[in-house]
Amino acid sequence: MKRIKNAVFLFIFFAAGIVSAVPAVLYASEDFSRFNEMYRGEQYEEAYKGYAAGLAKDRNNPGLWYNAGNTLYRLNRPGDAVYAYAKAFSLAPRDGDIRFNLEYAMRQTGQAFIPEGTPRALYLMFYMFSDQELKALAAVFFWIAMLSACAATVFSDRVRRYSVRVSVIAFMVLMFSGGWIWARHYSQFSSSAAVITETGGLKLLSGPGENFRECASAPEGRIVRILSSSDDRYYEIGLAAEGISGWALKSGVKKL
């Protein structure tokens, strides 16, 4: 029975390890070595075209987003650079190079990567896993909880006791993962966040159309929250630091 108990907990540990593991970002991928050489040779426009072509095929490659961000920053396109770094960060939040460049680019555009008053260690722990990893973790422990609950109904009393314990632990991890995912939905880099990419920034209107008065402005590179996307041409966006909102043209805003 001790072997069964150890095997169960090893399975849980192994499952969690599979979910949390992320392959290292390959900045010098063989397929894009030519574009990396262009970047090193300061041919930034040509290098960016190569990375953009790669992203058109694989938008979940953090290395390509990171490289694209580097070229965009060199091309003096801070809004697009922040967007590219933020995309890379959302896919590989534990990568130190990605995090460093995102933090630097945000600082250059008047923003703080870590909200004021938030302990750095706590914030980095909050972004220890990507959204995809958290969802996968929740799925793994959902099935562990279900299978353990089923095992508790068919095996002997001794196995049933261990199955119930495993099911309870898995359910607790599942609830914790769900709460984490819910909290991330309201975070700075959530799926409802966006970046102002329009050169020079965007004016914010009191309503969705040029007939409405200008009420504020959003500088290039600013990370904002999408409050409404109901209009065909305009987003309603919110600037958390200033506590203001307004409508801006969708063409100058990129959702994360």
What DSSP designation does 31 have?
G
Q: How confident is the model at residue 170 (pLDDT cuts 50, 70, 90)?
A: confident
Closest-CA residue to 52 (of 40, 39, 67) = 67
* 28 CB-contact burial (10 Å; exposed 0-12 / middle 13-18 / buried 19+): exposed
97-124 per-position pLDDT tens digit: 999 999 999 999 999 999 888 899 999 8
What pLDDT band is residue 248 in, cutting at 50, 70 and 90? Answer: very high
Q: Using an 8 Å Cβ cutoff, are 102 and 89 in contact?
A: yes
Above 90 in pLDDT, residue 144? no
Rg (Cα) of the chain, in Å, rounded?
23
Higher pLDDT, 31 or 173: 173
70-84, 140-154, 211-225: least confidently modelled range: 140-154
Q: In this structure, how many other beta carbons lie within 10 angstroms of the beta carbon of residue 210?
A: 11
Going by pLDDT thresholds of 50, 70 and 90, the confidence category of residue 246 is very high
What letters, b where the CB count within 10 A reaches 16 and e where it falls short, cover 10-22? eebeebeeebeeb
Condensed to tens digits (0 to 9), the pLDDT of residues 9-53 reads 444 443 444 333 333 334 445 667 888 889 999 999 999 999 999
| pLDDT tens, position by position, 49-82 | 999 999 998 899 999 999 999 999 999 999 999 9
Query: What is the model's pLDDT at position 10?
Result: 40
Alpha helices of the chain — where are they, by DSSP H?
2-20, 33-40, 44-57, 62-74, 78-91, 96-108, 120-126, 131-154, 157-185
* pLDDT, position 7: 43
Bridge-based pairing of strands 244-249 and 253-255 is unpaired
Return the bridge partners of 248, or none: 235
Show the tokens assigned to 71. 């070229």
Q: How far apart (Å, rounded) are the C-alpha atoms in residues 24 and 63?
A: 9
Residues 132 and 100: beta-carbon distance below 8 Å: no
